């Protein structure tokens, strides 16, 4: 992790630096805001800035935003000056850190604000095979393409590869290609000279130069405009880049790792991704399996997140009950590890008693993982039943959704037409007419009093 300390901090800068370095951070110092901004523009790079509360924090935050430099800021000051702390937070600082520094507090800030603690946790053989291959190729300079569904941990694996590479002591720089508008992404990657376009108030080194000697992660590269892909291809092939408005190329020495949650071969067929760029990136493909295919990892990750968020929220640690674990294993986890993490955060806050029960396992819409319409209705949870249905109806015709709703409700009612009509809010005649129509169309429906689907 790279820490930038700005200002004198009234003589406490040495102590703060030593504590941060002891926690594994690489520390740089700038005497004032202008010096800090100059260093960042020139590719110095940082994951977190700690600034003297006596400096103009708002100016720093506004300057970072204007120049699109993503850098969380923590204000520091002597003692516990509540007024100064409030003013710093209002100015845009993420946290206020009182000095003299406490090792535990600095460690917590480094982890919480910079989010550097991204351990690669796995137990399942399917994931172990991928990690084994990643570690085998990590010492090389070959480009790597990491693919998999959203939320499977592609960036975490990329960081793991960098940490096991010969470039581990050099920068790891990540660019989210999906989060930056096309007209700004070129400047973000390759940099620009002062005055090269409106808003270019100073020369800015791009991510390629910032990552020189280390690893550049191009996250969700499938979102990059095809015109910019040509310039990216040249940079990777020639190992040199051209800043916007520059007059001569700049040599670079980086390893490129790219990620995508799409099938890039299919994107090539559609014409939205260059085939030659795919060949250049895909020297080795690491495909992360979906969480639902890694059952052994679900329990490991769930327990990790429970401990993490119990500590973060200051609540007692509660183990997961067998029923809760069964429910977690049965979930499809369409959002993968990211969805599991959010679910466990909620469970920590909702749990009561000595352990986390299945009732605390809730999705954002209030339903339980893997819960069906019939299960939601049987539990008397009408809202949950409706939201489960909503998740699967987008993109389908009204007639198809209506048919499935009627059949599922009838199956839940064990074929009882009267009960099903009452649940659906329609007359028994309307229900019978619908069932006759479905039968004529060849749809299997439950017989009266039975739960299996057979022809009427």
| Across 53-67, 131-145, 216-230, least confident range | 53-67
Residues 148-176 as b/e (b if ≥16 CB within 10 A, e otherwise) read: bbebbbbbebbbbbbebbebeebbbbbbb
- Residue range 231-256: mean pLDDT, rounded: 92
Identify the top-confidence range among 40-49, 87-96, 347-356, 357-366. Answer: 347-356
The proportion of the chain whose per-residue pLDDT surpasses 90, expressed as a percent, equals: 37
Q: Which long-range contacts (CB under 8 A, 24 or more apart) does 70-76 make?
A: 71/4, 71/40, 71/46, 71/47, 72/47, 72/48, 72/113, 72/114, 73/49, 74/48, 74/49, 74/50, 74/109, 74/113, 75/50, 75/51, 76/9, 76/12, 76/16, 76/50, 76/51, 76/52, 76/101
More confident residue, 410 or 374: 410
Report residue 403's pLDDT band, with 50, 70 and 90 as the boundaries: confident
For position 71, what pLDDT does the model report? 85
- State the sign of the Cα–Cα–Cα–Cα dihedral 365, 368, 369, 371: negative
Calpha distance 81→104 (Å, rounded): 20
Residue 139 has pLDDT above 70, yes or no: yes
Contact 180, 234 (CB under 8 A): no
Contact 233, 274 (CB under 8 A): yes
Residue 217 has pLDDT above 90, yes or no: yes
Contact 115, 123 (CB under 8 A): no
Contact 453, 444 (CB under 8 A): yes
For position 215, what pLDDT does the model report? 96
- How high is the mean pLDDT of the chain? 83
Residue 374 has pLDDT above 90, yes or no: no
* H helical segments located in 203-263: 207-210, 226-238
Report residue 347's pLDDT band, with 50, 70 and 90 as the boundaries: very high
Q: How many CB atoms lie within 10 A of CB 371?
A: 22
Q: Is 239 helix (H, G, I), strand (E, B) or coil?
A: coil
Give every strand in the sheet of 172-176, ordered side by side. 172-176, 215-219, 255-260, 144-147, 284-287
Residue 256 has pLDDT above 80, yes or no: yes
Task: Calculate helix-pair angle for 322-330, 336-350, nearest 10 degrees.
Answer: 150
Render 327-341 in DSSP notation, one character per residue: HHHH---TTHHHHHH
More confident residue, 18 or 137: 137
| Across 173-177, 215-219, 392-396, least confident range | 392-396
More confident residue, 80 or 355: 355
More confident residue, 413 or 176: 176
Contact 153, 120 (CB under 8 A): yes
Report residue 367's pLDDT band, with 50, 70 and 90 as the boundaries: low
Q: How many CB atoms lie within 10 A of CB 35?
A: 13
For position 112, what pLDDT does the model report? 62
Is the omega angle on the peptide bond into residue 4 within 30 degrees of 0, that is, cis?
Answer: no
Residue 306 has pLDDT above 90, yes or no: yes
279 beta partners: none
For position 322, what pLDDT does the model report? 94
For position 9, what pLDDT does the model report? 60
Calpha distance 240→249 (Å, rounded): 6
Q: What is the DSSP letter of 222?
A: G
Report residue 401's pLDDT band, with 50, 70 and 90 as the boundaries: confident
The proportion of the chain whose per-residue pLDDT surpasses 70, expressed as a percent, equals: 85
Residue 267 in tokens: 């994107």
Domains of the chain: 2-114 (3.40.50.2300), 126-287 (3.40.50.300), 291-370 (1.10.8.60), 387-454 (1.10.10.60)
For position 96, what pLDDT does the model report? 84
Report residue 97's pLDDT band, with 50, 70 and 90 as the boundaries: confident
Task: Please provide residue 269's backbone torsions phi and psi, each rounded to the nearest 5 degrees.
Answer: -60, -35
For position 399, what pLDDT does the model report? 77
Contact 36, 4 (CB under 8 A): yes
More confident residue, 83 or 294: 294
| Across 251-260, 282-291, 397-406, least confident range | 397-406
Residue 454 has pLDDT above 80, yes or no: no
In which element (H, E) is residue 26 found?
Answer: strand 26-30
Residue 161 has pLDDT above 90, yes or no: yes
């Amino acid at each position: 992790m790279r820490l930038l300390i700005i200002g004198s901090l009234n003589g406490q800068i040495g102590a703060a630096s030593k504590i941060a370095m002891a926690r594994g951070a690489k520390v740089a110092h700038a005497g004032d805001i202008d010096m800090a901004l100059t260093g960042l523009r020139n590719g110095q790079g940082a994951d977190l800035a700690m600034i003297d509360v006596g400096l103009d924090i708002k100016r720093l935050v506004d300057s970072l935003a204007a120049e699109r430099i993503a850098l969380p800021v923590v204000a520091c000051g002597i003692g516990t000056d509540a007024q100064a702390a409030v003013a710093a937070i209002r100015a845009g600082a993420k946290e206020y850190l009182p000095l003299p520094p406490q090792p535990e507090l600095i460690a917590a800030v480094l982890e919480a604000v910079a989010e550097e603690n991204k351990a690669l946790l796995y137990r399942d053989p399917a994931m172990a095979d991928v990690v084994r291959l990643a570690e085998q190729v990590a010492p090389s300079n070959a480009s790597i393409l990491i693919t998999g569904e959203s939320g499977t941990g592609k960036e975490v694996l990329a960081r793991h590869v960098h940490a096991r590479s010969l470039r581990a002591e050099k920068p790891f720089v990540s660019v989210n290609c999906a989060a930056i508008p096309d007209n700004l992404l070129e400047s973000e990657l390759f940099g620009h000279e002062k005055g090269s376009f409106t808003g270019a108030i100073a020369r800015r080194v791009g991510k390629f130069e910032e990552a020189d000697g280390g690893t550049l992660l191009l996250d969700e590269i499938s979102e990059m405009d095809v015109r910019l892909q040509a310039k990216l291809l040249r940079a990777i092939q020639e190992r040199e880049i051209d800043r916007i408005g520059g007059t001569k190329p700049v040599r670079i020495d980086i390893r490129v790792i790219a990620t995508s949650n799409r099938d890039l071969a299919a994107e090539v067929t559609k014409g939205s991704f260059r085939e030659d760029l795919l060949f250049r990136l895909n020297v080795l493909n690491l495909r992360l399996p979906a969480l639902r295919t890694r059952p052994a990892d679900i329990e490991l990750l769930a327990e990790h997140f429970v401990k993490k968020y119990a500590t973060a929220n200051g609540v007692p640690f509660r183990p997961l009950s067998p029923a809760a674990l069964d429910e977690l294993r049965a979930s499809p986890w369409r959002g993968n590890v990211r969805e599991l993490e959010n679910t466990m955060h909620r469970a920590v806050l909702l749990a009561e008693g000595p352990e986390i029960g299945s009732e605390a396992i809730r999705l954002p819409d209030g339903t339980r993982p893997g819960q069906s319409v019939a299960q939601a209705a049987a539990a008397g949870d009408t809202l949950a039943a409706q939201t489960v249905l909503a998740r699967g109806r987008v993109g389908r015709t009204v007639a198809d959704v209506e048919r499935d709703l009627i059949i599922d409700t009838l199956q839940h009612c064990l074929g009882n037409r009267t009960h099903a009509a009452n649940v659906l809010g329609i007359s028994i005649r309307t229900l019978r007419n619908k069932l006759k129509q479905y039968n004529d169309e060849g749809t299997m429906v439950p017989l009266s009093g039975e739960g299996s689907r057979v022809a009427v």
